[in-house]
Structure 1
Amino acid sequence: MLQPPKSTLVIDPHSLTDDEIVELCQVYKSDRSRLLSPKECGTKVVALTDDLAVKFGVSVRLEEARTQQFAHESISRTVLRIPKVYRFFSRPESRWNSIGYLVMEKIDGLTLQQQDDDGNNNKWDEPGIISRIAAALDALHSISGTTRPGPVSGGLAYGYLYAEKSSETEFHNINDLESYLNDRLALFGRSVSLAGQELCLCHMDVAPRNFMIDTNGQLCLIDWAAAGFYPRYFELWSMLFASYCSSCQFGPALLQSLKMTTTPAVEDTELENLTMVYRFNMRCAT
């Protein structure tokens, strides 16, 4: 059996074989000192060493790894720290599913949600936190340059706007995305036009659990599973959705800050339309 590396040992992430990483993940997912994700979560994140972490599960995909690394390379660390991706591979779990393994930089710190759980109520509401997050997201949203919605390398889009959390088709242009939305909005007698909407890099799961403050006080953003290029107001909707699911006022507070810098102004009907798309997908899933 492979001997687990000591946490203080510096390991080249490329020196471990895929088999070794899989074996270590199986050992460490039951080790509370190594498990970085909530124990009840199907997708696991474990610490291999002080500097290396692995995220693995059936919902961990190549699209996430590529988008996360693109974001890491595209935004200044002084504005927003994003874990560097070292490698990705997958292993068949069954005839239908594979388990993805994303090997990345490990960041020491606590998420804003963890800090709240530790008794620091509304850590995100401390002076300056919302403005720092808003500035970081403004920088993220300034990254554009593509006319193809979805993950940076193409492929299926994932997240709360899609049936079974997948779009089930690639969007080759913004008209494809518009058609996807309108096919679902027709049930409610609604429609949307994305004409004139520019695509920018969006995280699409903006919530306290995905923001960290590292040991140096640097703001960090993790979990890029749903990220890709979308109209900016899609990001604003994701904040409200996350807050609705958790009964937290983080989303509305951040949305108010971001709306001030959004051009053109976001109409409430645009956000409502995305909620209707979500409801359509949930109806079809039941």
Structure 2
Amino acid sequence: PHALTNSEIVGFCQLHKDDRSRLLSPDESGTKVIKLTDQVVVKFGRSVRLQEASAQDLAFKNTDCEVLRIPKVYRFFSQQESKWDSVGYLVMEKIDGVNLEQLGDWDKAEIVSRVTTVLNALHSIPGTCPGPISGGEAYGYLYAQKSSGTEFSTINDLESYLNERLAFFERKISLGGQHLCLCHMDVAPRNFIMDVYGRLCLLDWATAGFYPRYFELWSLEFADTCSSHQFGPVLLQSLKATAAETMEIENLNLVYRFNMRCRTKAYDEQTEEIMAAIGKTSKDESYS
């Protein structure tokens, strides 16, 4: 991939974006993954950002490949399409294997145990500044599928962001003394590949960043209420949230509720069902 210029990579992607012999992503996906060579792929789209490349590169350099494989990042660049839009291009290692969602065994005890080990390894990677590794606005479920709208330069910035929303519910959170760690924030069977040697590989680092560990637990709980294709409560139980973390997960539920209200200005029925499920889960389940 180093021999190709950015322009040549863009041209290749545009030429083969509908070529089923090279396309590795679903047809309906707005973000495309195309095979550049037998060893290299390109992920590109408007939602492919430097934050993803930086998080993936950090994880690659700080994890044991026998515990977790991370595709090596070769290059990231973006190209302006219009005054408002740009497309990001992430050139990375191609991992051959089987997607866990397709494998269908993701909820077995052995897989859950291995995913727990993977997450514990990621959560051992410390950070000092919250949010995306490379800075900028944060993205993900918590922000109602949009961005945070602001950059978190310090942990106080993140605390202020959360408390501005929690004030609506007469709640407050304190991040003083909180340990920040690398959180993937979209851990799901669809984002794992089991390679030809039986090792787990974790993909899609678009929403990853440095957060308190319970942010990861919240994202797992939230995703489980939205889809049956998740690891489910058994993974949360395996990760053993503390009583304090369980309380903070409830606070993050309220932050999401506020962000969703601001986005839609009125709940639709699906949102109400999701929030009802989250509220029931956070109150009825114990992860300790």
What is residue 34 of structure 1 aligned with on the other side? 22
Q: Which of 225, 230, 250 is residue 272 of structure 1 equivalent to?
A: 250
Partner Cα distance (1:221, 1:159) in 2: 17
- How far did 1:28 drift? 2.2
RMSD over equivalenced CA pairs, Å: 1.5
1:187-209 C-alpha deviation (Å, 9 max, x unpaired)? 22222111221000110111111
- How far did 1:105 drift? 0.3
Q: Percent identity?
A: 67
> What is the letter of the counterpart of residue 278 of structure 1?
Y
What is residue 107 of structure 2 aligned with on the other side? 125
- How far did 1:169 drift? 1.5
- How far did 1:282 drift? 1.5
Partner Cα distance (1:205, 1:199) in 2: 17
1:14-67 C-alpha deviation (Å, 9 max, x unpaired)? 111111111211222212221111111111111111110111011111111111
Deviates most, 250-259 or 163-172: 163-172
Tell me the SS of whatever aligns to 2:118.
helix
What is residue 245 of structure 1 aligned with on the other side? 226
**Residue 75 of structure 2 is aligned to residue 94 of structure 1:** no
Deviates most, 164-173 or 216-225: 164-173
- How far did 1:270 drift? 1.4
What is residue 161 of structure 1 aligned with on the other side? 142
- How far did 1:249 drift? 5.4
TM-score normalized by the length of structure 1: 0.88
Partner Cα distance (1:62, 1:97) in 2: 15
What does 1:51-66 correspond to in 2, within 5 Å?
51-66=39-54
**Residue 28 of structure 2 is aligned to residue 21 of structure 1:** no
- How far did 1:114 drift? 2.3
Partner Cα distance (1:164, 1:211) in 2: 21
Q: Gaps spanning 5+ residues in structure 1: where?
A: 1-12, 117-122
Partner Cα distance (1:112, 1:273) in 2: 31
Partner Cα distance (2:163, 2:98) in 1: 40
Deviates most, 238-247 or 70-79: 238-247
> What is the letter of the counterpart of residue 263 of structure 2?
A
Partner Cα distance (1:225, 1:137) in 2: 16
Partner Cα distance (1:114, 1:15) in 2: 34
1:106-140 C-alpha deviation (Å, 9 max, x unpaired)? 10112211223xxxxxx112341000010011011
TM-score normalized by the length of structure 2: 0.87
Aligned residues: 264
What is residue 187 of structure 1 aligned with on the other side? 168
Are the equivalent residues in 1 in contact too, given 2:188–2:230 (CA < 8 A)? Answer: no
Partner Cα distance (2:84, 2:179) in 1: 36
